[in-house]
Each structure stands twice: as C-alpha cells, then as structure tokens.
Amino acid sequence: MLEKTGLKELNDIESELKVNFESTTTTGCASGTCD
C-alpha cells in the first residue's frame, strides 16, 4: 500500500528536499502557481 499510494516515494523525497532547502534560501511558491 505504501508504494501504490506513493507514500514510500514521498518519504524518499523528504531527505532530498531537506538537502536542497538547507543549501539555499530559495523558497519558491509552494503550490507552483505563482503569478
């Protein structure tokens, strides 16, 4: 179920996002729908 619902992949992304977040103050619009 973890794989089918994508939760496993989402968990895997977390550490990658954290590395990127911490190396830059780049924030971006969270929803990706900025004007």
Partner 1 sequence: MIKDNQILRGLIRKKIILYWHNHSSLTQYKSILEDIEDFLLPSLVYYFYLGKENYSDFCNYIENINLKEKSFNHITKVINNYLDCYEEIQGKPIGDIHPGGSTKYLKEHKVLYNKFPDYGDLLSNLSSEIFDDYKKFFPKITKSKQQILRDYVPINLKAKDENTVCKYYFNLGRIIPFLLFIRAIDINAENMIINLPYPVFFDMEAIFSGKFADKSKVYNLKRTGIVKMEEKEDTSVLTGGIKSRDSLLKPLICGNIKAPYIRWRTQSKGKYSNLPKIGKSYAHPSKYLKSIKKGYYETSTKLLSQRKKLFNITKESEAYVRVIIRPTRMYRYFLLKSCYPQIYLHQNLNSFFSNNLQNCNLIYKVNDGNLLDTEIKALLKSQVPAFYSNFKKKTILSPKGEKVTTWNNSPFKIWSQYQKTLNLQFFEKQIETLESCIR
Q: Interface with partner 1 by CB under 8 A: which residues? A: 1-7, 9-10, 13-14, 16-18, 20-35
Minimum distance, C-beta of residue 32 to partner 1, in the bound complex (Å): 6
Specify the residue for token string 């550490």. Answer: 15
Minimum distance, C-beta of residue 34 to partner 1, in the bound complex (Å): 5
Which three-class secondary structure string do you get for 16-34?
HHHHHHHHCCCCCCCCCCC
Minimum distance, C-beta of residue 2 to partner 1, in the bound complex (Å): 7
Q: For residue 23, what are its two tokens?
A: 């190396």
